[in-house]
Amino acid sequence: MEKSLIILGSTGSIGTQSLTVARQNGWRVTGLAAGSNVDLIEQQVREFKPLKVALFSEEAARDLKARIADTDTAVLSGISGVCEVAESEGDLVLNAIVGIAGLRPTVAALKAGKQFALANKETLVTGGSLVMGLAREKGIKILPVDSEHSAIFQSLQGAPENSLKKILLTASGGPFYSKTREELGSVTVEQALKHPNWSMGAKITIDSATLMNKGLEVIEAVHLFGVKADDIEVLVHRQSILHSAVELVDGAVIGQLGTPDMKVPIQYALTYPERANVAYERLSLADIGTLTFAKPDTETFKCLRVCIDAINRGGLVPAAANGANEEAVRLFLDRKISFLQIGDLVEAAAANQKAAHNYTIEDVFEADRAAREFVISHFGG
């Protein structure tokens, strides 16, 4: 299969795994973008020889430009540079930027009519109805990279329209499964960064520990699959083998299983509707033995409940919850707030946001800014 790819967030956990998949399949990479990691993106430029590369940081972009002056790759900078890469020559854009920073590049790629694979769930959490509307207008199917959404998407292949009854969204439960609020009071950054099953970037690893990640994924699923939050059942499944499932109107439950390896959903998004004859680690159910399922504890892990409330209220509330979370996670990683304060701040900032349906992209950024400011002015007490 001939394919040329543009990878946004190429230096991150998903970005580097996407480049591994591109290498394995022999695909061309025509564009790369990241935040500020000059060393790694220089190596990537030398290996993949893209036409364009962008770094969000102006200073890092200047450095990169000097370092790769001997190559034919054009260097761009700032958010406009990242968006220009998203619109540039190439068949498919994969957005693996972390946070709301991915929203404008998503819009740029869709406006340019690109095939589009999405890891950056914050795009849909913050700008969901705008982004889905734009994709519909352009006739673009958003291909999910997030493992659960990929599993749902895979499980729905062949299901007739209107046959989806319910989504079973699985969650590993994170490193603090079954802990009480009291026990969570004293957890450290190091403990929160140790995920039992997945190796991921720092922000999503903390989101997995608070269950914010599952809340963001409920919102992501509402937009991607056109369902209500009430039609999504979150199930704690400690082994991360069933990546999610769907229940159809006739009661049949169809799911996708596999080892916890993001290269599988990344590759499917990049080959859809085909399947690549390239496999990574194979699943042995006999070795796994037991799969378990339980209800999540949304009293202790309040972020999940806050996100469900946020999507039920709709409008700009999810953007506020997301912005507050991005800021609170940064403060936690900087050791300025405790683990439990993340959920408290996200809850308070979301409650402070008016729903305001019919919003514009500028309204989304304003809600994000206001929520961050709310967190900064309230975290001290």
Residues lying near ligand NDP in the complex (CB under 6 A) are found at: 9-15, 33-37, 56, 82, 96-98, 101, 119-122, 146, 198, 200-201, 203-204, 262
Q: What is the distance between the alpha carbons of residues 189 and 230, in angstroms, rounded to a whole number?
A: 33
Identity of the residue, 120 or 155, whose beta carbon is nearer to ligand NDP in the bound complex: 120
> Interface mask (CB under 5 A) for Mg ion, residues 92-131, using x and -?
----------------------------------------
The partner in contact with residue 96, picked from Mg ion, ligand NDP, none with C-beta cut-offs of 5 to 8 angstroms by kind, is: ligand NDP
* Region of 46-54, 141-149, 237-245, 339-347 interacting with Mg ion (CB under 5 A): 141-149
Q: What is the distance between the alpha carbons of residues 228 and 246, in angstroms, rounded to a whole number?
A: 14
Helix 78-87 crosses helix 103-111 at what angle (to 10 degrees)? 40
Residue nearest to ligand NDP (CB): 12
Task: Give the 3-state DSSP-derived string for 4-41, with helices as H, strands as E and coil as C.
Answer: EEEEECCCCHHHHHHHHHHHHHCCEEEEEEECCCHHHH
Q: What is the distance between the alpha carbons of residues 76 and 66, in angstroms, rounded to a whole number?
A: 12
**Least separation, in Å, of the C-beta of 40 and ligand NDP?**
7
Q: Could you tell me the end-to-end alpha-carbon distance of the chain, in angstroms, rounded to an integer?
A: 56
**Least separation, in Å, of the C-beta of 205 and ligand NDP?**
8
Alpha helices (H) along the chain? 13-25, 38-48, 58-67, 78-87, 103-111, 121-138, 147-155, 181-184, 189-192, 202-210, 212-225, 263-271, 285-288, 302-313, 317-333, 339-351, 361-378
**Least separation, in Å, of the C-beta of 250 and ligand NDP?**
31
**Least separation, in Å, of the C-beta of 69 and Mg ion?**
39
**Least separation, in Å, of the C-beta of 17 and Mg ion?**
14
> Interface mask (CB under 5 A) for Mg ion, residues 146-175, using x and -?
xxx---------------------------
* Region of 44-52, 130-138, 142-150, 241-249 interacting with Mg ion (CB under 5 A): 142-150
Residue nearest to Mg ion (CB): 146
**Least separation, in Å, of the C-beta of 315 and Mg ion?**
24
Which residues, in sequence order, are CB contacts of 235 under 8 Å at separation 6+?
168, 169, 170, 171, 293, 294, 295, 296
- CA angle, 45 then 50 then 3, to 5°: 125
The partner in contact with residue 82, picked from ligand NDP, Mg ion, none with C-beta cut-offs of 5 to 8 angstroms by kind, is: ligand NDP
Helix 38-48 crosses helix 58-67 at what angle (to 10 degrees)? 40
Identity of the residue, 144 or 315, whose beta carbon is nearer to ligand NDP in the bound complex: 144
3 state SS of 92: strand
**Least separation, in Å, of the C-beta of 150 and Mg ion?**
9
The partner in contact with residue 255, picked from ligand NDP, Mg ion, none with C-beta cut-offs of 5 to 8 angstroms by kind, is: none
Residues near Mg ion (CB under 5 A) = 146-148
